[in-house]
């Protein structure tokens, strides 16, 4: 049976990484498709990525997180039973990504912020329906170009984020794989747990079968977290389930 996983970041750094990962996945889905609407969706996601990078020094944040993880993994080298070959490959990959990010000039995506075509679309995107054909004839012209030309432009713009995207993907994979899952019960749809302050918890994951008629609402910080299983008819305010709900809990710390 298919399962659904809900995630909750426990700090702002991981929150930003998850948002970027979400946007890059949207780009991966729409970029290969042929229609002008798909190109619009791809460009909208790209502009969202660019907006996040304009508001935060994410290159520094990513480098700091990679170096923190690398230091933690290095301490495992003397642990019995460790796959030293895999650990060495992982540390080498982290070093490679850190070197690439250190070698990049300026803020990530700064070249795209100088692109007048993209800036015009970004400015009009704040208006509902503001990117329709009569508002941005240059955008309309671009959307009418052959799909190969549009994809070439999009690939070129998106490639500016390749290195940092690879680094974020590796960080999130290591975090998600860093814990052993446990089976838990939310009594009357409610579950709460205190987190050990000695461990750097970064992400809570809650997994349930798709046939459970609830969604997981997770909230938390560095000291504790709660999970509420909520029912909704998609019209009224969701309500907490009165049933005991079994779920798989993963508290990720690395």
Asked if residue 6 is part of any domain, the answer here is no
Domain boundary among 174, 209, 236: 174
Q: Are residues 146 and 199 in the same domain?
A: no
Domain boundary among 124, 143, 174: 174
Asked if residue 4 is part of any domain, the answer here is no
Residues 131-181 pLDDT 10s: 998 989 999 999 999 999 999 999 999 999 999 999 999 999 999 988 889
Domain boundary among 119, 141, 174: 174
Asked if residue 7 is part of any domain, the answer here is no
Q: Are residues 239 and 210 in the same domain?
A: yes
Q: Are residues 183 and 165 in the same domain?
A: no
Range of the domain at 38: 12-174
Give the chain as a DSSP string: --EEEEEEESSHHHHHHHHHHHHHHHHHHHTT--SHHHHHHHHHHHHHHHHHHHHS-HHHHHHHHHHHHHHHHHTTTTSTT--HHHHHHHHHHHHHHHHHHHHS-SSTTHHHHT-HHHHHHHHHHTSTTTTSTTT-HHHHHHHTS-HHHHHHHHHHHHGGGHHHHHHHHHHHHHHHTSS--EEEEEBTTEEEEEPPTTS-EEEEEEEEETTSS-EEEEEE-SSEEEEEEEE--SSSPPEE--S-EEEEEEEEE-
Q: Are residues 189 and 220 in the same domain?
A: yes
Q: Read off the pLDDT of each residue in 239-253 and give the average, rounded to a whole number.
A: 94
> What is the share, in percent, of the chain residues with pLDDT greater than 70?
98
Residues 192-205 pLDDT 10s: 999 988 778 899 99
Q: Are residues 167 and 236 in the same domain?
A: no
Say yes or no to pLDDT of 55 above 80: no
């Amino acid at each position: 049976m298919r399962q659904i996983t809900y995630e909750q970041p426990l700090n702002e750094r991981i929150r930003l990484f998850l948002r970027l990962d979400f946007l890059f996945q949207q780009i991966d889905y729409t970029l290969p498709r042929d229609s002008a609407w798909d190109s619009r969706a791809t460009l909208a996601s790209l502009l969202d990525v660019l907006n996040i990078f304009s508001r935060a020094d994410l290159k520094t944040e990513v480098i700091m997180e990679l170096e923190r993880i690398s230091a933690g993994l290095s301490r495992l080298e003397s642990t019995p039973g460790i796959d030293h070959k895999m650990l060495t490959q992982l540390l080498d990959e982290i070093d490679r990504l850190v070197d690439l990010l250190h070698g990049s000039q300026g803020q990530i995506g700064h070249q795209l912020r100088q692109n007048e075509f993209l800036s015009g679309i970004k400015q009009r995107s704040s208006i509902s329906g503001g990117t329709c054909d009569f508002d941005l004839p240059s955008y309309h012209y671009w959307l009418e170009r052959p799909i190969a030309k549009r994809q070439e432009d999009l690939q070129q713009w998106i490639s500016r984020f390749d290195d940092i995207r690879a680094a974020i993907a590796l960080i999130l994979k290591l975090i998600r794989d860093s814990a052993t899952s446990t089976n838990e019960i939310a009594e009357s749809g409610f579950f709460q747990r205190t987190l050990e302050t000695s461990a750097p918890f970064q992400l809570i994951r809650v997994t349930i079968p798709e046939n459970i008629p609830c969604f997981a609402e997770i909230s938390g910080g560095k000291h504790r977290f709660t999970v509420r299983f909520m029912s909704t008819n998609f019209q009224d305010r969701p309500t907490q389930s009165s049933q005991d709900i079994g779920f798989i809990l993963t508290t990720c710390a690395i």
